Amino acid sequence: MPPERFPPDDPREWLSRVRSSLLIAREGSRVEGVYLEDLCFEAQQAAEKALKALLLHRGIRFPHVHDLARLVSLLEQHGETVPESVREAEELTKYAVAARYPGLTEPASRAEYETAVRAAETVVEWVGANLRERDS
């Protein structure tokens, strides 16, 4: 059953998309015929949408880009202290575009895939804690 839908300017809608992308990234490797780089893209999407949910929650306008470093910098410009573990997820940006097309990059390895999922989970957990903290 699909999750409840919210307006596009509601961080809850973004977080629903985060959970969906992270679920695909985590579970997709169990499906025969799925490319690991496609799952790395879903991990990148989870991290990107999580950062955008936090930006939205804070009332910060953000560009429609896939560049995680740029989104992290935008948070920092508005006073957010971003831990190094979240900054490390900036590496996921490489999966946002080129990795989805044949021949533009090397196929993702199992280790790269697992690192991508862990990085996305780190961002999602940090954003979730940040949102809960601000709601209290």
pLDDT tens across the length of the chain (136 residues) = 778 899 999 999 999 999 999 999 999 999 999 999 999 999 999 999 999 999 999 999 999 999 999 999 999 999 999 999 999 999 999 999 988 888 888 999 999 999 999 999 999 999 999 988 766 5
Q: Which pLDDT score, from 0 to 100, does residue 104 have? A: 87
Encoding tokens for residue 36?
């690991």
Question: How far, in Å, CA of 19 to CA of 124, rounded?
Answer: 9
Residues near 27 by Cβ (< 8 Å), separated by ≥ 6?
none
Cβ pair 92, 21 in contact under 8 A: no
Q: What would the CATH number be for the domain defined by 11-135?
A: 1.20.120.330
Residues near 131 by Cβ (< 8 Å), separated by ≥ 6?
11, 15, 53, 54, 57
